[in-house]
Structure 1
């Protein structure tokens, strides 16, 4: 049974609701969250008003020991974009919630004073959290675990969420994060400091024999995927060097595509050789792509221990802000984690300000000091000002779209799509499924909902409408994808990747993954598809699924997210990159110049995408 815990914060009432039929029709996780958000939040609601809903959804496979089945989806109307907002996180929170008897949690209304929600085998209760308000994520989480027990899994916001920074995160047991779209600000607006969960139950499986076969199949396929060894060794840092080789780094607010010293100073081997200590895995994960790291050399950051380095961290602070020192990158991430801020939007906001300062659009007197690329002191100071909403930080806390409207002449420097700051990779160097997803993603300028299962990182420039195959055509035959979609996307025989149609498939596939509660790391995304997920759901739930029905459900979920955005004012004209990508070339590797994108070609791809989705232009 799928149970939704509704926390009516105004009154303090807690309700248990059986939503099993909704989980069956919408796969679970982000699927259920999307339906609940559409129904619970009236059109035009201010994202920081009590009428917004903050929903956590745990998919039907979570807690079953199928590899990587530990993910939780959090959803609300985004205070950053004013549209559909969602974020995903791993760790042990999702399994703990299921082991306590719940699959979904909705925070509704606004508590009169700060509270935390505690869930365990005995049920759920709201407790006073006034003593935790004002504490960092670390301080609050330590206090909660000391009070309740160290086996509790804790979601907490920091001062950024309390101060309603529009890109505040919800931190998950310190290091993991519901990062994007500002859900920490929504939690702060509801006066909820934390959610603490401990459960000792288990997840029922309808067909134990079929489940054991499915579980073994998944482990075998994930471990046999060629990217498995690289992901286990480097984690997401496997992509750090190829991005530099392709001249696709987001350097200095997307004005530099490559750095001469990149691999030596900020590359994956530089990280591995000097800072990596051991692998770290989420619940039920054989990949262990996270790494416990420590700064050993003498200096101001000696002794700093953290979970990383993620490629996002090095792209945002190492490339976008040009910090050369990995310990300084670690420390900036540490500030974001302690204060509860999305790394991408925080770095993007700081990069915007530094460029605006360098262009003479804002003065050192207005900022309070002169910020500089690659200068840790000024960058870390800006991060703290944002989290505390002090001085210039109060403006940056609104996000670059709003900040650029306040600073005259700065709008061309604001690197966002639909109000959400763009991450990690410049589309001028590679306009592929990954970067095309900045435009099509229902949560705005982000790539994590649009990842091709056949992408190769070392591919360079290409035609707009047909992306080169990132794998040998023989791999297409083995790909877990309905045959009709293979022909639509790759052609018959496979010739290339139809970019608009691959974007649709990638989004639908990742919607399935985020609904059932699994991970999108390449070894999973490339080896498991709709047929596997249908059989896994059937074995666990006892309900009837097949590849086509699961895929159709995912498409319907994406369409409902789009409908939510249209209801909030979105239209096709919002599907556009910042002007910089169309108007300026990019200095690349070894003197190479990367040419700007074609507005016409990108617009044609968007039209093709709308047609593939069946949407009206």
Structure 2
């Protein structure tokens, strides 16, 4: 049984509902969250009003021992984009919810005073949080665990969420987060400080014998995949050097794609040799792709933190120009303490620095640095945003609103549909991943469209087609419907159709985020719809076919798209900022050309046709 905890914060009412029927049709996690948001949030609802609903959905496999079955989706209407908002986090929070006997927690209404929620097996309480309000996320976790028990898993907001910073995150214990699209602001708007969970039960599967075989199969495919070794060794930092090599860094607010000293100062090798101390893993994860850092020398000797994640490096190290790894980690630490999304925080600061360099802020914003890499100035500005003080109050509204209030600054605002663009410049390399920045239903993001056959150093034949840059044997072994494999790769495999692969990649990641596994490469490339159909049947007892799983994923994606359209999305919003179409990207001794606007539009039309949305209107060109 898949249980939903429904908490009405206005009336302090708690109900439990069986949503197994929704989980059957929408797979779980992200899928069920999507259905609840679309059905229960009225059109035009204020994202920061009591009518917005916020749902934690632990994936269907979470709490089992399938490799990486630890991910929980957090979904609501985004205050940053005014569109579909969702974020994903691992660790142990979702498993604790499952062990308490629940799969989902849906929050509605608004408390008249600060509260937090405790779920301790069958006991669910709405408790006074006056003493927690104003605390950092770290202090909040410490205090709740001191009062309730050390084994509670805590999802909390910091001062940024309380002050409705539009890109506020919800922190997952000390170091994890549901980062993108501003779900922390939604929690803050409800006067909800935290959701703390403890569970001592277990997850029971319908077919124990069949599931044991599926678990062995999944483990073997994950640990034997060619991406396993380097993912364990470097984690997400594995892509740090290739991004620089291909000239795709978001350097200095997307004005340079390459740094001469990148590998020596912020590369994966220097991190491994001089900073990485040990590997860390989420619940049920054999990959252990996160790490603990201990600074072994220099002025920050002895400083410790979790990381380094490549998003920290690309955002603070490239986009803002900070060279010291310890300083990059300290910037991420400030974001965690206040509860702010790293990518959006970096994006608005990069915007502010460039606007300031071009004389648009004057003397009204003394806390905004003039120079890239100004670590003290960047820290001060992060704190100003988290506290909504000075220019930080405007930047806390997000880059779209901030630029609309600073005349002449729109050209420096790097966002898509109101969400700050992350980590990688599409001029550096056009592929499935970068097309996904435009088509992503949570807007301007990089983690919902990713080819299971990608290679960052592979070649692109055109904006419509990539060369196959992985061994053909890997293509042949992909767990992928045969008809789609032939459409995307050809028969025999000879190319990658970028628009069609983008559609498949979105659906595959939708399945992964609904079932609660991780999108790290060994899982993303090693497991596919056929596996998920068999695993869902073993866990839930409901029969699934590969075709049913793919259709459910497509239905979930279309629900998200329809939500965005109903909230005002137009076809014209599928566009990069003008900088990407009008300016070359400096790279080594030369440059990468701007994106050709008309060709990108044609690629989008091909994608729309594959998705069968927007009616494929011919006059769009």
Q: Which TM-score bucket, shorter chain as reference?
A: over 0.9
8 A contact 1:357–1:364 mirrored in 2: no
How far off is 1:146 after superposition? 0.7
Alignment of 1:12-23 (within 5 A): 12-23=12-23
Alignment of 1:94-113 (within 5 A): 94-113=94-113
Residue by residue over 1:429-467, the C-alpha shift from the partner in whole angstroms, topping out at 9 and shown as x without a partner, is: 111111111100000000100011000121255410002
How far off is 1:364 after superposition? 4.0
How far off is 1:508 after superposition? 0.1
Paired with 1:37 and 1:19, the residues of 2 have a C-alpha distance of 14
Q: Match of 2:526, SS?
A: coil
8 A contact 2:368–2:381 mirrored in 1: no
8 A contact 2:116–2:126 mirrored in 1: yes
8 A contact 1:429–1:460 mirrored in 2: no
2:381 corresponds in structure 1 to 382
8 A contact 2:101–2:122 mirrored in 1: no
How far off is 1:366 after superposition? 3.1
2:278 corresponds in structure 1 to 278
Alignment of 1:465-480 (within 5 A): 465-480=464-479
2:610 corresponds in structure 1 to 612
8 A contact 2:367–2:380 mirrored in 1: no
Paired with 1:392 and 1:350, the residues of 2 have a C-alpha distance of 10
Label 1:368 to 1:495 Cα distance change in 2 as closer, same or farther (>3 A): same
Q: Match of 1:366, SS?
A: coil
2:592 corresponds in structure 1 to 594
Paired with 2:69 and 2:341, the residues of 1 have a C-alpha distance of 24
Q: Match of 2:141, SS?
A: helix
1:149 corresponds in structure 2 to 149
1:222 corresponds in structure 2 to 222
2:519 corresponds in structure 1 to 520
1:46 corresponds in structure 2 to 46
Q: Match of 1:507, SS?
A: helix
1:27 corresponds in structure 2 to 27
Residue by residue over 1:318-370, the C-alpha shift from the partner in whole angstroms, topping out at 9 and shown as x without a partner, is: 00000011010010000001110000000000000001111122224434454
Residue by residue over 1:117-143, the C-alpha shift from the partner in whole angstroms, topping out at 9 and shown as x without a partner, is: 000123211110000000000011100
Pair 1:558 & 2:531 matched: no
1:80 corresponds in structure 2 to 80
Label 1:354 to 1:33 Cα distance change in 2 as closer, same or farther (>3 A): same
Alignment of 1:440-589 (within 5 A): 440-589=439-588
Paired with 2:478 and 2:34, the residues of 1 have a C-alpha distance of 28
8 A contact 2:368–2:378 mirrored in 1: no
How far off is 1:412 after superposition? 1.1
How far off is 1:386 after superposition? 0.4
8 A contact 2:76–2:86 mirrored in 1: yes
8 A contact 2:265–2:323 mirrored in 1: yes
Q: Match of 1:155, SS?
A: strand
Paired with 1:447 and 1:422, the residues of 2 have a C-alpha distance of 8
Corresponding residue pairs, total: 615
Paired with 2:20 and 2:465, the residues of 1 have a C-alpha distance of 41
Paired with 2:400 and 2:363, the residues of 1 have a C-alpha distance of 21
Paired with 2:369 and 2:493, the residues of 1 have a C-alpha distance of 54
Paired with 2:579 and 2:517, the residues of 1 have a C-alpha distance of 36
Q: Match of 1:75, SS?
A: strand
8 A contact 2:353–2:368 mirrored in 1: no
Paired with 1:318 and 1:527, the residues of 2 have a C-alpha distance of 31
Residue by residue over 1:535-594, the C-alpha shift from the partner in whole angstroms, topping out at 9 and shown as x without a partner, is: 0001111100011100100000000000000000102111001111100001113x1310
8 A contact 1:156–1:194 mirrored in 2: yes
8 A contact 2:460–2:467 mirrored in 1: no
Q: Which runs of 5+ in 1 are unaligned?
A: none
8 A contact 2:459–2:466 mirrored in 1: no
- Give the superposed CA RMSD: 1.0
8 A contact 1:264–1:270 mirrored in 2: yes
Pair 1:316 & 2:315 matched: yes
Q: Match of 2:14, SS?
A: strand
How far off is 1:473 after superposition? 1.8
How far off is 1:303 after superposition? 2.8
Paired with 1:99 and 1:496, the residues of 2 have a C-alpha distance of 45
Paired with 1:167 and 1:80, the residues of 2 have a C-alpha distance of 6
Q: Match of 1:603, SS?
A: helix
2:618 corresponds in structure 1 to none
1:66 corresponds in structure 2 to 66
8 A contact 2:427–2:593 mirrored in 1: yes
Label 1:368 to 1:293 Cα distance change in 2 as closer, same or farther (>3 A): closer
Label 1:525 to 1:369 Cα distance change in 2 as closer, same or farther (>3 A): closer
How far off is 1:374 after superposition? 0.5
8 A contact 1:249–1:425 mirrored in 2: yes
